[in-house]
Structure formats: C-alpha cells, structure tokens
Amino acid sequence: MPNKNHYPLRKIVEINPETDFRVKIMGIVVDKKDDTIVVDDGTDKVKVFVDLPSILDKVNVNHLVAVFGATIPTDLGIDIKANVIQNLTGLDINLYKKVEELYNKWGVN
C-alpha cells in the first residue's frame, strides 16, 4: 500500500488523476487570484487552490514554487488543492536539474 503521506514529484502533464491522489509539482506562478494560483512547469499549467491567505501573501507571479497537494479531477484534467506551498525563489534551477538527472540515473527518486 502506498504511503499516504508521500507526495511524489510529478510533471503536470504526467499526473494521473486515477492513481496520483497527492503530488508535488514545481513551477513558475503565472497567475494569482483571490484563492488560487496557476503554476506552469513547462509541460502544462495547473490551477492550485489555496485555503490560507497567509500562504498566498508569500507567493507572487514569476516566483518559482513547489506545491504539495491533493489532486482534484475536473472535466478538463486536474486541479490541485494545496497543503503546502514552498517559495523556491533563489533556487539554482540548473543545479537542481543536474541533481534530479543524477537521481533518475541512479534510480533514487
């Protein structure tokens, strides 16, 4: 049985609403409204619902973020209800990608 507390890292385009109930995505905030943000990871965009205004206060358009949340199937694909949003502004994305490639190469993901 899968660990219910685990958020596997997914590209938005790879999320399967039938099997991915919780996910972690990383991307750029491209839109921000009252209780939602839209995150683009380069493969697709997803609407992220945020219950706590204090979280939204720390995230702005063009920020790099990691979103940990529950998937919500929709007629057009999926949305995500955020449990945690981590502001990754300042992260060296090229170094991160190199580390991710090594993890994938060694099967440590």
Q: In this structure, is the dihedral angle defined by the CA atoms of residues 15, 17, 21 and 27, taken in order, positive or negative?
A: positive
Q: With helix as H, strand as E and coil as C, how does 33-98 read?
A: CCCEEEEECCCCEEEEECCCHHHHCCCCCCCEEEEEEEEEEECCEEEEEEEEEEECCCCCHHHHHH
Domains detected in the chain: 12-106 (2.40.50.140)
Per residue of the chain (109 residues), what is the pLDDT tens digit? 455 558 999 999 999 988 999 999 999 999 999 899 999 999 999 999 999 888 888 899 999 999 999 999 999 889 999 999 999 988 887 898 888 889 888 987 6
Q: What's the whole-model pTM score? A: 0.85
Give the amino acid at 19.
T
